[in-house]
Amino acid sequence: MSRATRWINIVAVTIPFIGVLAAIGLLWDSAVTWFDLAMLVGLYLISAFGITIGYHRLLTHGAVQAKPWVRYMFVIAGSTAIEGPALIWAADHRKHHAHTDQEGDPHSPHVGGGEGLRGLWHAHVGWLWSTEIERGWPRKHTPDLLRDKGLVRISKAFPVIAILTLLVPFLAGYAYYGTFTGGLQTYVWAGLVKVFMIHHVTWSINSICHFSGYRRFDVDDHSRNNPVLAILSLGESWHHNHHAFPRSASHGMRWYEVDLSALVIKAFVKVGLMSKPVYISREKQDAALIGARKAQRSAVAAD
């Protein structure tokens, strides 16, 4: 990783944290309104669905197809999470699936950073300034995406989108309150706090969901389903299910595993803006259960 990239990542992690400290100060002074909170929630959902549906399920795994303008809309929304250009994000995630919890996994709590808390730190945020990012990752891991010229242009426009992402809350606050300080107040809540929240929810999937939670499928990694993060992550924390069936458009495999991203996908499919969602039959799920696989192997050994 180049020194410039490392410092960019450090700044991207540090500034939202400073924003959270500023928000605590604003709370102490009661400097928050329903407008600020509405902006925070609204922009969080736009960015988060952009990551979970656009970056992740559409681009990385092809779990569902979408009309080009819908695809681009979700990718632009994902760019507002300020987690990096779409092509780099997708390449990194495909590399994660190719080497899950083994050497070569960019962000595992079990390799690359030690075990225990050190491993969690590495998987959560430490990898952002320690992992050797190869320039050829997109060519190696996402050659199919590179053929989409519109997607390439959006990915290259990431710095501009990131700047606009932080400018919009300030302008909205300035228009609503009519003062510079009002604009700064909304910027802190709907800009910096929003980015801080979505960053750490995403990173928690990399760290906590490979460390704490429950398992049901026979997969050769440490992925876990973590219900605590389900709502904030919009369904991404059913991470063990996802590693068992990466192409599934729904990460929730049981009625109680709420997956808000899957519900949005179903709505878009229903109105004809998305198509061909991949769903895993209960029969296929049952065949992949830990006990079922063990029974199959025992039966084969007995024969």
Q: Higher-confidence residue: 270 or 118? A: 270
Q: Which amino acid is at 166?
A: L
Residue 301 lies inside a defined structural domain of this protein = no
Residue 64 lies inside a defined structural domain of this protein = yes
Residue 188 lies inside a defined structural domain of this protein = yes
Q: Report if pTM > 0.85.
A: yes
Residue 261 lies inside a defined structural domain of this protein = no
- Say if CB 150 and CB 74 are below 8 A apart: no
Mean pLDDT check: name the lowest of 55-59, 100-104, 137-141, 255-259.
137-141
List Cα–Cα distances, 31 to 15, 27, 36, 88, 133, in angstroms: 20, 6, 9, 38, 41
Residue 21 lies inside a defined structural domain of this protein = yes
Is 214 in a helix, a strand, or coil?
strand
Q: pLDDT digits over 254-273, tens only? A: 999 999 999 999 999 999 99
For the residues 65-84, what does the mean pLDDT come to? 97
Q: How many domains does the chain have?
A: 1
- Domain range for 180: 3-216
Q: How far apart are CA 92 and CA 83, in angstroms?
A: 11
Q: What single string gives the DSSP state of each residue in 23-62?
A: HHHHHHTT---HHHHHHHHHHHHHHHHIIIIIIIIIIIT-
Q: How far apart are CA 252 and CA 115, in angstroms?
A: 28
pLDDT-derived band of residue 290, with 50, 70 and 90 as boundaries? confident
Residue 254 lies inside a defined structural domain of this protein = no
Q: What is the pLDDT of residue 3?
A: 57
List Cα–Cα distances, 19 to 16, 33, 99, 161, 205, in angstroms: 5, 17, 35, 19, 22
Residue 283 lies inside a defined structural domain of this protein = no
Whether the pLDDT of residue 19 is over 70: the answer is no
Largest CA-CA distance found in the chain, in angstroms, rounded? 79
Residue 277 lies inside a defined structural domain of this protein = no
